[in-house]
């Protein structure tokens, strides 16, 4: 028997949401860390886009303390937005990524990882 994984996502200026990963699959993602290997990193960055079959999307990201430790007084950064089906996902990736202190290269990687738009 498999159980559906429920993920709690932090959003900007509103309460977190809980979503089923099966109903909200990940469609774009990037991560970084500042260590030689992840277990030595002082900081880790994650930027994710999930999309429901009805077209709604959730963009969320974070800069969090890595396992290598950070200086006293360090504050994590988390951000996220829920988008309607017609919203500009790439623009939301930029906003969320900047607020979560992700690098420009990482933001661009997630935008490039989005599903291609078909032109006719």
Ranges of each domain in the chain: 6-113
> Using CA atoms in the order 116, 51, 14, 71, what is the torsion angle rounded to 10 degrees?
-70
CA-based max dimension of the chain: 54
70's tokens = 């950070």
25 CB-near residues (< 8 Å, 6+ apart): 50, 51
Q: pTM (2 decimals)?
A: 0.89
The tens digit of pLDDT for each residue in 73-114 reads: 789 999 999 999 999 999 999 999 999 999 999 999 999 999
């Amino acid at each position: 028997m498999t159980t559906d994984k429920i993920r709690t996502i932090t959003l900007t200026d509103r309460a977190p949401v809980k979503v089923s990963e099966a109903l909200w699959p990940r469609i774009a993602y990037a991560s970084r860390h500042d260590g030689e290997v992840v277990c030595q990193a002082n900081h880790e960055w994650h930027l994710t886009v999930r999309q429901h079959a009805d077209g709604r999307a959730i963009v969320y990201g974070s800069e969090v303390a890595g396992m290598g430790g950070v200086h006293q007084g360090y504050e994590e950064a988390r951000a996220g937005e829920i988008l309607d089906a017609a919203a500009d996902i790439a623009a939301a990736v930029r906003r969320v990524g900047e607020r979560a202190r992700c690098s420009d290269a990482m933001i661009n990687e997630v935008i490039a990882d989005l599903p291609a738009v078909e032109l006719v």
